[in-house]
């Protein structure tokens, strides 16, 4: 039976009206909200045709809520699954549109494209735009940089700009036609807005491509659902009756259009409970989330504010450190504009007798390394420390949290070398990256059969799979020399050319000639399959190359992904698929459908393993021991003069943040703010630095509050060796030193 702690009792006694709840990390908000939902269902206030609507952010949370509510209903001797509905925001929007698609201007058979398909369309749109606007890149490339050598970087940057512009425009309910009309009005005087013109071109072409496919994207779902309800009062009233109470989780991550949709569905006199933690709003700078919306909701006169401030997750010293970061940021941050980044409530340990008592403090359960380590030394230090801790605590849980996927991949290499058991929550696992790398090398040769470098890459990749990495030690240069000694690679694949059989498969006895001949033999064997569709080609190669079921399963996954890309991009050739596989191998793209957010993740199911994750993906999770890496002034800038920013590309003139400049103009256009539309160039870039610094401060807070018992924080000097300690980390370190 649920035993509420202080603060939770006020929430579970809610009956009607609007309530806003600020919940600290580990305060049991999901448990509390689930119990509230069950109590509302168990009350006699719901009619047979009514449900409590629970809205959350990701699919795994839907399963979590459904399971918990069902459990509480059984305690009330009620059947689970009746009287409530749990949906993601996008799932809710889809439900609304599906009942009345014509009201949204859609066919009954409308399709929803996923993020991968949307990215493919955007890449085509960007390529087409670049061909007709060659002057843009020339004009915006930094001095002393050659635009011709920056093609790939500009492609990635423009695709990111296009994606951000389109998502933001849809959040503001702006169609391409509306933007065009506004621009025409503003440009009558002859003034030009090249960034907005570019964004409009991307948006118009993208929407045209969606229309051609009879499809919508995820951002369209929210926008169209809101339009349907706003324009159809009768349908809106039906849904208000069906869902008289709305319980919203993770409200700090809501965007403007998402808030407007739920607000409309609730109505002025409806029942709406919003739960979130403004201090854990960590998606603002790369999504349309607006953390200020929850804070403003909490301050409304018609809203009853409440706090969940008791947490049994962390040891008292870790709670104290998180609270100090909060207090320091409000009182002492060197940048005044950032002093409202974190806010109350502070975290309080659970009271005596609570069913979830805090773990006890232990000596040195918080360690902040006061040394600027080189990145590779930091990785080795943390991997070795994790190895020792897991050996001493085989039933403990441990996480290594990094600010970026690339750092995670480096840690994986260290753990692999030390034979430490691990699990990744990065964009793709090491096994997936390895399989993708081998297949990319083989396909890369078939795409360029006259290239000796490609042939050598393929031969070495085949050897690594056939005989293991050990067989390649010290042999790579000799194998490449063998390849380079051939007149042309094509002669090796002539039918009359005889390839000797290898004498042994023992890795210790293999010669460079053996590796060379095995690679040529395999490449000749698969050559005839090159005419097959890409998914069949990948599986043909994989069935001969891989022997382990896990590797074959990964190859099948990759084949499905590439087959989907081929279906959405007719006529695509091998070089495109090689590039996609290289992106997966380089941890630059995610395989959609296989992420922890979609399938759920339980750290306690992985005791004795090191879990490697980004800090963003770790939100909502907890481990006994947590390492936070790379807490320097690049990954955690504080709007200081010496800080650098990932969003300010080194190859863009004047270090402009083009995305910030463009979105600021779009926001001004949406608000009919003529002055804001004409703010001096660079101002939006400087404002974006503050937004990013604020988000990274909240990310550090999230990282600290993942730890139950022990916390280790390190920093590194960065790739160029010039990074220093992050300002908030210096404050935390000094605080701990004074506490000692």
Quick one: angle between helices 574-585 and 549-568, nearest 10? 130
Residue 23 marked ligand-binding: yes
- Number of Cβ within 10 Å of residue 417's Cβ equals 10
Residue 351 marked ligand-binding: no
Residue 320, token pair as written in the block = 């104290």
Q: Is 240 exposed, middle or buried (0-12, 13-18, 19+ CB in 10 A)?
A: middle
Structural contact between residues 83 and 52, judged by C-beta atoms closer than 8 angstroms? yes
Q: Quick one: which H or E segment has residue 704? A: helix 683-704
- In 86-186, which ranges are continuous DSSP H helix? 89-99, 115-132, 134-140, 151-171, 176-186
- In 299-347, which ranges are continuous DSSP H helix? 316-331
Q: For the chain, what is the radius of gyration of the CA atoms?
A: 28
**Three-class DSSP category at 199:** helix
Residue 29 marked ligand-binding: yes
**CB within 8 A of 441, min separation 6: which ones?**
454, 457, 458, 460, 461
Cα 332 to its chain centre, rounded Å, is: 31
Compute the distance between CA of residue 330 and CA of residue 343 in angstroms, rounded to an integer: 7
Residue 148, token pair as written in the block = 């011709």
Residue 557 marked ligand-binding: no
Compute the distance between CA of residue 426 and CA of residue 668 in angstroms, rounded to an integer: 36
Residue 199 marked ligand-binding: no
Structural contact between residues 518 and 463, judged by C-beta atoms closer than 8 angstroms? yes
Strand partners, 305: 20
Q: Is 144 exposed, middle or buried (0-12, 13-18, 19+ CB in 10 A)?
A: exposed
**CB within 8 A of 114, min separation 6: which ones?**
592
Strand partners, 276: 22
**Angle formed at CA 525 by CA 522 and CA 526, multiple of 5 degrees:** 90
Q: Sheet with 366-368: list strands edge to edge.
A: 366-368, 707-713, 623-628, 398-402, 610-614, 422-425
Q: How many residues does the chain have?
A: 740
**CB within 8 A of 200, min separation 6: which ones?**
176, 179, 180, 183
Quick one: angle between helices 89-99 and 256-266, nearest 10? 60
Compute the distance between CA of residue 647 and CA of residue 159 in angstroms, rounded to an integer: 14
Compute the distance between CA of residue 347 and CA of residue 332 in angstroms, rounded to an integer: 19
Residue 484, token pair as written in the block = 């380079």
- Number of Cβ within 10 Å of residue 583's Cβ equals 16
Residue 28 marked ligand-binding: yes
Quick one: angle between helices 430-447 and 574-585, nearest 10? 150
Q: How far is CA 600 from CA 53, 62, 396, in A?
A: 21, 10, 20
Give the CB-side neighbour count of residue 256, counting CA atoms within 13 A.
11
Question: Buried b / exposed e across 24-54, counting CB within 10 Å, b at 16+?
Answer: bbbbbbbbbbbbbbbbbbbeeebeeebbbbb
Annotated binding site for ATP: 23-30
Annotated binding site: 23-30
């Amino acid at each position: 039976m649920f035993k509420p702690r202080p603060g939770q009792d006020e929430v579970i006694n809610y009956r009607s009206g609007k309530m806003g709840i600020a919940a600290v990390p580990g305060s049991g908000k999901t448990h509390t909200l689930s119990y509230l939902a069950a109590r509302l269902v168990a009350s006699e206030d719901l009619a047979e045709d009514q449900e409590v609507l629970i809205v959350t952010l990701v699919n795994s949370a839907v399963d979590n809520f459904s399971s918990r509510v069902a459990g509480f209903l059984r305690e009330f001797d009620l059947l689970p699954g009746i009287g409530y509905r749990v949906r993601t925001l996008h799932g809710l929007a889809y439900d609304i549109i599906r009942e009345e698609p014509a009201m949204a201007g859609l066919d009954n058979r409308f399709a929803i494209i996923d993020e991968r398909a949307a990215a493919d369309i955007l890449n085509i749109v960007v390529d087409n735009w670049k061909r007709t606007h060659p002057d843009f890149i020339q004009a915006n490339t930094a001095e002393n940089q050659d635009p011709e050598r920056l093609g790939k970087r500009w492609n990635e940057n423009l695709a990111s700009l296009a994606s951000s512009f389109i998502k933001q425009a849809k959040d503001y309910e702006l169609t391409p036609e509306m933007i065009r009309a506004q621009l025409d009005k503003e440009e009558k005087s002859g003034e030009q807005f090249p960034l907005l013109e570019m964004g409009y071109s991307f948006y118009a072409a993208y929407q045209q491509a969606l229309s051609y496919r009879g499809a919508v994207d995820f951002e369209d779902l929210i926008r169209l659902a809101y339009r349907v309800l706003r324009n159809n009062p009768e349908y809106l009233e039906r849904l208000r009756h069906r869902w008289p109470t709305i319980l919203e989780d993770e409200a700090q991550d809501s965007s403007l259009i998402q808030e407007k949709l739920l607000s409309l569905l609730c109505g002025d006199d409806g029942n709406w409970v919003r739960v979130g933690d403004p201090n854990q709003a960590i998606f603002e700078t790369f999504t349309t989330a607006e953390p200020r919306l929850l804070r403003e909701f909490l301050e409304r006169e018609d809203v009853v504010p409440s706090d969940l401030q008791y947490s049994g997750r962390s040891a008292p010293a870790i709670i104290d450190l998180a609270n100090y970061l909060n207090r320091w940021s409000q009182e002492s941050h060197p940048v005044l504009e950032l002093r409202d980044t974190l806010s109350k409530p502070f975290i309080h340990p659970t009271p005596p007798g609570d069913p979830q008592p805090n773990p006890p403090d232990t000596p040195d359960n918080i360690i902040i390394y006061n040394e600027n380590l080189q990145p590779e030394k930091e990785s080795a230090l943390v991997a070795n420390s994790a190895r020792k801790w897991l050996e001493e605590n085989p039933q403990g849980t441990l996480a290594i949290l990094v600010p970026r996927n690339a750092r995670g991949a480096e840690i994986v290499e260290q753990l692999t070398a030390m034979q430490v058991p691990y699990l990744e929550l990065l964009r793709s696992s090491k096994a997936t990256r390895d399989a993708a790398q081998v297949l990319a090398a083989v396909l890369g040769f078939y795409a360029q059969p006259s290239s000796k470098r490609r042939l050598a890459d393929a031969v070495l990749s085949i050897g690594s799979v056939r005989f293991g990495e050990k067989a390649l030690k010290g042999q790579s240069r000799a194998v490449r020399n063998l390849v380079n000694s051939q007149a042309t690679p094509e002669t090796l694949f002539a039918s009359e050319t005889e390839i000797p059989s290898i004498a042994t498969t023992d890795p210790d006895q293999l010669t460079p000639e053996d590796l060379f001949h095995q690679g040529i033999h395999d490449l000749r064997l698969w050559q005839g399959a090159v005419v097959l569709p890409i998914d069949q080609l990948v599986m043909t190669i994989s069935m001969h190359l891989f022997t382990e079921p896990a590797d074959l399963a990964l190859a099948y996954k990759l084949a499905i992904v590439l087959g989907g890309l081929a279906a959405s991009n007719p006529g695509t050739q091998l070089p495109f698929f090689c590039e996609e596989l290289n992106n997966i191998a380089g941890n630059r793209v995610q395989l959609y459908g296989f992420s922890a957010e979609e399938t759920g993740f339980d750290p306690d199911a992985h005791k004795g393993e090191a879990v490697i994750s980004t800090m963003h993906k770790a939100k909502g999770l907890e481990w006994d021991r947590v390492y936070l890496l790379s807490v320097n002034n690049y990954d955690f800038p504080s709007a200081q003069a010496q800080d650098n920013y990932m969003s300010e590309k080194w190859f863009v003139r004047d270090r402009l943040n083009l995305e910030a400049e463009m979105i600021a103009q779009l926001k001004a256009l949406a608000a009919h703010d003529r002055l804001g539309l004409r703010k001096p160039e660079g101002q939006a870039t400087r404002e974006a630095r503050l937004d990013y610094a604020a988000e990274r401060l909240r990310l550090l807070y999230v990282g600290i509050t993942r730890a139950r018992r022990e916390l280790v924080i390190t920093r590194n000097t960065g790739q160029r060796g010039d990074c220093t300690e992050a300002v908030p980390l210096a404050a935390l370190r000094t605080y701990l030193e004074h506490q000692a």
